[in-house]
Amino acid sequence: MKHLAIILDGNRRWAKAQGLPTFEGHRRGYDRVKEIGLAALERGIEHLTVFAFSTENWKRSEEEVGYLMDLLLKALTKDLDFYMKHQVRLKVIGRRTGLSDKIQAAIAEAEDKTKGNTAGQINLCINYGGRAELVDAVKDIVASGVNPEQVTEELISSKIWMKDIPDPDLIIRTSGEQRTSGFLTWSGTYSEILFVEKPWPDFTVEDLDAAIDNFSNRDRRFGGNSK
């Protein structure tokens, strides 16, 4: 497996079950991203993509959104030495418009500073939505004056936010929900899917290893015959 993607679900429910503030759930969830991210890269996975903040998450309370944005800013600035130490590249996937100028500048700096790192890449999906990704790709194609007959799957793949990143082999969603919620709508077409009951803050390295083992025992046919 070269690319693992995870829908980080259950931070708020985990916090409520523990009798903790919602913010603590998000903080623990971010710490888990760092732990699982390093473990995944150590196991030969080249890309870990995490669904951290969707285009729909803006509907949450102003206080919660503000905390999530502060957490993102921390990841891109104060924690940058952590990613440099472990040779991790950072990439933010999603609409930059809507994010503050401060965060946009931090994204650009973090991506530039870590671009030469060699251990692997963590892709943070922020202000991301699968339909929004396709809408923006289509707008780009229309603006470039391409004739309808020239529109191909390869052209669309070259315009989406996930361009230059291999399609995910496996998508995991934690916390028991069994839907993808618009995550990697285009690039995840043939991804294997694994639903895990545990909320994201409880997801362990052992759970990661179990998921990798589960994936290795699947027969991926891509619409063709079984091997």
pLDDT tens per residue across span 34-84: 999 999 999 999 999 999 999 999 999 999 999 999 999 999 999 999 999
Residues 6 or more apart whose Cβ sits within 8 Å of residue 131: 182, 185
Catalytic residue among 9, 123, 127, 169: 9
Average pLDDT of the chain is: 95
Average pLDDT estimate for 4-14: 96
In the predicted model, is pLDDT for residue 120 greater than 90? Answer: yes
pLDDT bin (cut points 50, 70, 90) of residue 219 is confident
**Whether 214 is catalytic:** no
**Which of 177, 184, 175, 127 shows the shortest CA–CA distance to 157?**
184
- Architecture of the domain whose range is 3-216: 3-Layer(aba) Sandwich (3.40)
Cα-flanking dihedrals φ and ψ of residue 126, to 5°? Answer: -125, 130
Instruction: Show the tokens assigned to 157.
Output: 């793949």
pLDDT bin (cut points 50, 70, 90) of residue 135 is very high
**Whether 57 is catalytic:** yes
Please give the pLDDT value at position 33.
Answer: 97
Please give the pLDDT value at position 185.
Answer: 97
Please give the pLDDT value at position 204.
Answer: 98
Percentage with pLDDT > 90 across the chain? 95
Residues 6 or more apart whose Cβ sits within 8 Å of residue 227: 219, 221
pLDDT bin (cut points 50, 70, 90) of residue 221 is low
Average pLDDT estimate for 161-179: 96
Catalytic residue among 11, 57, 147, 213: 57
pLDDT bin (cut points 50, 70, 90) of residue 222 is low
**Which of 66, 124, 126 shows the shortest CA–CA distance to 96?**
126
Report how far residue 35's alpha carbon sits from residue 138's, in angstroms, rounded to the nearest whole number.
36
In the predicted model, is pLDDT for residue 227 greater than 60? Answer: no
